[in-house]
Chains A and B, each alone.
Chain A
Amino acid sequence: MAGAWANQIIQGILLGGLYAMFAIGLSLSVGIMRFVNIAHGDLIVLVSFLLLTLTTRLGVPLLVATAIVVPVAFVGGYLLQRLLLQRVLGQGVLSIVLVTFGLSVIIQNALQGIYGADTRLIQGGGIETETIQLAGGINIGMLPLAIFVFAVALVFALDLLLYRTRLGARIRAVSDDVASANLVGLRSAHIYAVAMGIVGVTVALSAGFMSVWTNFDPTSGPSRLLVAFEAVVLGGLGSLWGTLAGGIIVGIAQSLGAQVDAGWQLLAGHLVFLAVFLIRPQGLFPK
């Protein structure tokens, strides 16, 4: 019995890796640009469909397809910020919520129109069925493990980028005070757009992983956004390591909830989120 619970916790931690992947991009946009992109989940789903087309229609292997999509997503993120989001930034919270909500609706409808409402999954070339056997009858899937390791590595890399590079310092400067940044001659719109390009890269990477592990359809975005949002808030705004921890907490909660009753999985995640939020509204590791 204890073994079953231990197993669920381990599976939950690994699931948390995927959730952290969803959330890292959102965490960046909240932490740097200080807005919540309602279309974040839909962008992940959009890239997943792009990967679907590349892999099934054109027969490109998933890894190659992801490598193609990552730079595209950088440019997409850059242009999205520069041409659309930048125009409403600084006009209050409501404008950006409305604009990204509209974007979310547009993406969902466009995907419905192009791909239909079917549920999809991309073949990962065998990795999704491989497992490692641990003592006590615990099985660890290679894919969840790879995703988890990748999520940790990504947080580490982004943390280095933000806090140890000149580009990171420029991004933090604009995030600190846009008006001051403009006054001393930083190109804040360009720097924000680069940051959004980086968000785009994380979106593409998480889409690559998600599309092999979980089913998706054109309306999957909002549920991804919700999980990402919970991870970001749990971890504390602006903290990437906190977001990773937040993702893991939601993952464990869902996994344990599922052990009690399959129907409890999602609810358990939300309840734990609410409980922590009530006790520590600033999150676990606020910046």
Chain B
Amino acid sequence: MPVTAASDTSPLLAVRQLSVFYGQFRAVDAVDLSVRAGEVVSIIGANGAGKSSLLKAIIGQADRIEGVISYCGEDLAGQGTAEIVAKGIALVPEGRRLFPSLSVEENLHIGWEVGRQGEIGIEDVFGFFPILKERCRQKARELSGGQQQMVALGRALLANPRLLLCDEISLGLAPVVIDSLYKLIPAIKARGIGILVVEQDITRSLAVADRFYCLLEGKVTLASRPSATSREVVMQHYFGL
């Protein structure tokens, strides 16, 4: 059972008995999970555990799902990604997925257009990542990997999400760059945004998380708080020992 935080507020996101299928293959298997406003929840798990599939299902990009994805009390199952994003869920996709021929500014602005158009504007993103302001006319493909990840995160933030989904934002980046990205998480959290972080890097992931779920072959094997769990227990559930 997921550990419930202060139970006076209802969760922003409550996933119940969610399964995600590719054909006959069940990539996510009856997962229960919740995220509250202003809470950082991490999902850890090895390659192929089903982390990305879970996020894709939440954002409305899975072919076939079973179960309930309840967001602010409304079931998202069957809704299109455009509607879901407009309601306040944004994804920083695995592998960044920028539009390579568009400028930095154009990439960022797309996040604004598809989103809720709230208080976070492009100047805020330039405030988080000043380098992007200098590069704003350059094409996304001309940026370094770290700068591209900043654009991907900025694009998602510009959608003014209430729930931010981050899929392996540290992948392939130098530690200093990862630090600069993770430094932002407390600021995002302070705005009351719920954050669901997917990482393979357990240390990094648990350091920012209020709660975490460990996923193994599509199933939740452990749901706990970083402070309440020893490294050994985490590793056991991560590898399924």
Contacts and interface: CB of A to CB of B under 8 A. Distances in A.
Interface of A: 166, 169-170, 172-173, 176-177, 179-187
B186 interface: no
A186 B84 CA distance: 11
A185 B93 contact: no
A169 B137 CA distance: 13
B223 interface: no
Q: Which of A176, A181, A182 has the most CB of B within 10 A?
A: A176
Interface of B: 56, 59, 61, 80-82, 84-86, 90-91, 93, 97-102, 106-107, 109-111, 113-115, 155-156, 159
B94 to A, nearest CB: 10
Contacts of A185: 59, 81-82, 84-86, 90, 114-115, 159
A60 B166 CA distance: 59
A180 B82 contact: no
Given A169-B110, A176-B102, 9 more contacts: A166-B109, A166-B113, A170-B113, A180-B99, A183-B81, A184-B81, A184-B110, A185-B81, A187-B82
Q: Which of A172, A177, A185 has the most CB of B within 10 A?
A: A185
B114 A176 contact: no
A180 B97 contact: yes
A183 B100 CA distance: 15
Contacts of A182: 61, 81
Contacts of B99: 172-173, 176-177, 180-181
B61 A170 contact: no
B237 to A, nearest CB: 29
B91 A184 contact: yes
Contacts of A166: 109, 113
